Structure 1
Amino acid sequence: MRFPRGRRRLTIAVAALLATAVVAVIVYRVLAPAEVSTVARADYPAPARPAAGVIGRLPVAPLIVDGRLRVYAAHRQVYADRPVDGRHRTSPFWSYRRWPAELVGVVASGSTVVSRWSDGQLVALDARTGGVRWRSDGPEPPESTAAVRRTGAATVWDPRGLQLTDLPDGRIVLVVTGDAQARGVEVNDGRELWRAELPGGCRSDVGSTASGQLIAVDTCAGGATVEFRDAATGAVRERWSPPGGPNELTVTPLGCRTGRSDCLGLRTAGPGDAGGRGWLLGAGSPVAAPALDPAGAALVGEQSVAVLDGVAVGRSARTGTELWRSAGLGAARVLAGQPGRVHLLTEANDLVTLDPVTGRQLSRFVLNVGSDGTGWAPGAVTAEDGFVAVERLRKPVDPTADDRRYYYTGETVILAAT
């Protein structure tokens, strides 16, 4: 049986429209903005207290949260695993994914994990369940030309434009900055406290202070000035330059609780400086601290720790008084610090942990796992809750190499308890 020509054409047209509609539905479902939250189905784990030593190796950089979880960053996902002292990465304890936005930064305070996305959205997750606590609009993230490495270390250990700071009244504020705007958001409930317009292209964030201020370097008027902005109100409290300082200035935060947040000091350096000049931060202007001048010196609490001719020396950062010496370290370097601990890495890749107040050795062991060996160079590092995590890079280090050449192994992050 043959259909009349006109009816056949109508049937073909209807079929084509139906096919187009089906394709449109499929494309919409695939490409439409989406959010997938997979919450925890098990109890929140207890804090771990493993013995000192290497725990294991991971393919991606962990953010230690609340001493209980490891949180990781993927291209469009933030997720957690447990236990915090697990030898390898395990199935997600919880997961949160967005599309088509990309994850650009993660910070944590207590049991709150705040993620920042390429569309400016801030999404706070409850670390105990992975459920969404609050959402807030933020300024668009600053543009970055840096390569995003596969470990995600820059996203979770040093996220650009995300700084936490504690206020004197006990509140915790997240300061979020973009190229043209900054906002202060209360971590507990996502309430916006303030917003401020920023001049684009002539200022850059440095970190935040333990006394509740955002630190930035401002070159908008020509010479470099260090700007201190109140995290509670957004008002600029002070503009400061080192006495006799150069017009070009590099500022490095010191003694930070995590990443570049809640820092106790800073180091300023200009062209031609051998190391720089160290400063302690407080309620007023920075106070000179010569004990922090050496480029490799670390600030841990009130103590400065530096390695000089194979000897670790601890001094009072405020007075410069020598407190202790620890010999026999060879060509070691200060790797990181955290409350009550300073971590040094020897030439043979031994991790040595000292008490920054007394210099007493708390632990020492080789940073090796399995048959990997120690022929690697340290990359990005974090230290928190008694743990240390280090990226291992292939020697000689080539910053321009692709990830396969840049990193030492596939599971390149080594995790240790100290």
Structure 2
Amino acid sequence: MGFLNGRRRIVLVVVAALLATAAVAATLYRVLAPAEVSTVARAAYPAAPQPPAGVVARLPVAPLVVDGRLRVYAAHRQVYADRPIDWRHRTTPFWSYRRWPAELVGVVASGTTVVSRWSDGRLVALDARTGRVTWRADGPRPAQEPAVRRTGATVVWNPPGLYLTRLTGGREVVVATGSDEARGVELAGGRELWRADLGAGCRSDVGTTGSGQLVGLDACAAPATVEFRDAATGTVSGRWRPPGAGAELVVTPVGCRSGRSGCAGLRTSGPGDAGGRGWLLGSGEPVAAPALDGLGSELTGDQAVAVVDGVPVGRSARSGDELWRRPDLGPGRVLAVQPGRLHLLTGANDLVTLDPATGVERSRVTLNAGSDGTGWASGAAYAADGYLAVERLREPVDPEAGDQAYFFTSEPVILAAT
């Protein structure tokens, strides 16, 4: 009898151990298994406000302005929105979307569609009006995850390897690139259009054009060559080198709708170039635009704008003819551009917004939030839908410093209506 009781106790112990192991395994699976959590909007979609020119918000993280109504932000494993867009601080999320264990590496938006890209390559589109998932698609794994500081500005203002472009007829395409592959996905519906092999780490992205092309720099065989790829099919539609360019080539997009998406021009440079040469993009090969030469020049619409010898000057991007100059504004620099608006930052950290076609002043704002003052240096900047956001950095700027010493305050991003 004692022998049977002993066996029974052993069986009970084994069963209990198995049940405990199963419970632990189930718990670990629930915690660690891939998952997503979507918290949709419970309130009505806000109207688009029209605030007067001035500082409207001081924020701890960088906002992506969506549809002139929402501010969309990036966190480590989350993309979320708040409103109203002109509220002075960040508010409770209007909607939120999380994934685990993937990390958020990029966000782009057009109209009411917000597309997020994740470290496992997944693309997830959200309806900005509700926060609901509208489609999911597989994309290539990112070549590298962006270096992200506390504000998350890189993820929402200039996400590497994630672009938008508009095709003839108005369709928009999301283009995602990795170390050796690119894919094109329709913005409306998420249908994959193409996949393309990019080669083994010898090609770098430049951005997308406003006319349906992905632009890259192909250095797989010397000399480096600019490559244009049709965003509708993924096929290479053209290859080009600037006249007189050497074996080494650096290409930077200019006149972009947002980040490096929808760009209207390029600047190329190599050893010995003083600031680079400007080019306009169109249906054929890039056209030389000397008005865009130099690192300080920007492109907005048909105008090239720059600060020349301390004076803001507007020129025709095609002819180079001077259109206007504003010596009365004093020293400053071009901070950002958007359609119909040129944003200049003065030495006193006043934001002066001009009409780029005429040089006429549209608004002037002192970039001071509360009692913070204007004793800061500008960092990354972004403009859309009549708003401008800029990071404020502590002077003297030390790029190697930690976030607390690098940023001006705990809410370093200032948002202004222009």
* TM-score normalized by the length of structure 1: 0.97
Tell me, in whole angstroms, the C-alpha distance in 2 between the residues paired with 1:376 and 1:203.
Answer: 37
Within 5 Å, which residues of 2 pair with 1:141-180? 141-144=142-145, 147-180=147-180
Tell me, in whole angstroms, the C-alpha distance in 1 between the residues paired with 2:331 and 2:251.
Answer: 26
Q: Secondary structure at the match of 2:328?
A: coil
**Aligned residue in 1 for 2:185:** 185
Deviation at 1:378?
1.1
Deviation at 1:115?
0.6
**Aligned residue in 1 for 2:324:** 324
Percent identity of equivalent pairs: 71
Q: Which moved more, 1:305-314 or 1:107-116?
A: 305-314
Deviation at 1:50?
0.7
Q: List per-residue Cα deviations over 1:255-283 (Å, max 9, x = no partner).
A: 11111111111111112322110111100
**Aligned residue in 1 for 2:137:** 136
Tell me, in whole angstroms, the C-alpha distance in 1 between the residues paired with 2:312 and 2:50.
Answer: 27
Q: Which moved more, 1:360-369 or 1:146-155?
A: 146-155
The amino acid across from 1:345 in the alignment is L
Tell me, in whole angstroms, the C-alpha distance in 1 between the residues paired with 2:33 and 2:413.
Answer: 35
**Aligned residue in 2 for 1:48:** 49
Tell me if 1:100 matches 2:114. Answer: no
Structure 2, gaps ≥5 residues long: none
**Aligned residue in 2 for 1:195:** 195
Q: Secondary structure at the match of 1:258?
A: coil
The amino acid across from 1:39 in the alignment is V
Q: Secondary structure at the match of 1:328?
A: helix
Tell me if 1:371 matches 2:368. Answer: no
**Aligned residue in 2 for 1:265:** 265
The amino acid across from 1:180 in the alignment is D
Tell me, in whole angstroms, the C-alpha distance in 2 between the residues paired with 1:175 and 1:33.
Answer: 25
Within 5 Å, which residues of 2 pair with 1:236-251? 236-251=236-251
**Aligned residue in 2 for 1:395:** 395
Deviation at 1:11?
3.0
The amino acid across from 1:59 in the alignment is P
The amino acid across from 1:360 in the alignment is V
Query: Is the contact made by 1:55 and 1:87 (CA closer than 8 Å) also made in structure 2?
Result: yes
**Aligned residue in 1 for 2:67:** 66
**Aligned residue in 1 for 2:407:** 407
Deviation at 1:4?
4.1
**Aligned residue in 2 for 1:286:** 286
Tell me if 1:223 matches 2:250. Answer: no
Deviation at 1:310?
2.2
Tell me, in whole angstroms, the C-alpha distance in 1 between the residues paired with 2:367 and 2:97.
Answer: 32
Tell me, in whole angstroms, the C-alpha distance in 1 between the residues paired with 2:360 and 2:375.
Answer: 28
Q: Secondary structure at the match of 1:382?
A: strand
Deviation at 1:5?
3.7
**Aligned residue in 2 for 1:15:** 16
**Aligned residue in 1 for 2:296:** 296
Deviation at 1:309?
2.1
Tell me, in whole angstroms, the C-alpha distance in 2 between the residues paired with 1:216 and 1:35.
Answer: 33
Tell me, in whole angstroms, the C-alpha distance in 2 between the residues paired with 1:256 and 1:270.
Answer: 22
Q: Which moved more, 1:240-249 or 1:353-362?
A: 240-249
**Aligned residue in 2 for 1:349:** 349
Tell me, in whole angstroms, the C-alpha distance in 1 between the residues paired with 2:399 and 2:199.
Answer: 31
Q: List per-residue Cα deviations over 1:185-228 (Å, max 9, x = no partner).
A: 11001111111111121111111111111111111111111111
**Aligned residue in 2 for 1:117:** 118
Query: Is the contact made by 1:310 and 1:328 (CA closer than 8 Å) also made in structure 2?
Result: no
Tell me, in whole angstroms, the C-alpha distance in 2 between the residues paired with 1:310 and 1:362.
Answer: 20
Tell me, in whole angstroms, the C-alpha distance in 2 between the residues paired with 1:223 and 1:378.
Answer: 37
**Aligned residue in 1 for 2:28:** 27
Tell me, in whole angstroms, the C-alpha distance in 2 between the residues paired with 1:184 and 1:295.
Answer: 31
Tell me, in whole angstroms, the C-alpha distance in 2 between the residues paired with 1:271 and 1:393.
Answer: 31
Q: Which moved more, 1:146-155 or 1:330-339?
A: 146-155
Q: List per-residue Cα deviations over 1:9-52 (Å, max 9, x = no partner).
A: 33333322222222111111111111111110111111121100
**Aligned residue in 2 for 1:308:** 308
The amino acid across from 2:355 in the alignment is D
Query: Is the contact made by 1:65 and 1:71 (CA closer than 8 Å) also made in structure 2?
Result: yes
The amino acid across from 2:65 in the alignment is I
The amino acid across from 1:205 in the alignment is D
Deviation at 1:173?
0.8
Q: Secondary structure at the match of 2:329?
A: coil
Deviation at 1:163?
1.1
Tell me, in whole angstroms, the C-alpha distance in 1 between the residues paired with 2:416 and 2:206.
Answer: 28
**Aligned residue in 2 for 1:75:** 76
The amino acid across from 1:119 in the alignment is D
Tell me, in whole angstroms, the C-alpha distance in 2 between the residues paired with 1:221 and 1:193.
Answer: 28
Query: Is the contact made by 1:309 and 1:330 (CA closer than 8 Å) also made in structure 2?
Result: no
The amino acid across from 1:37 in the alignment is S
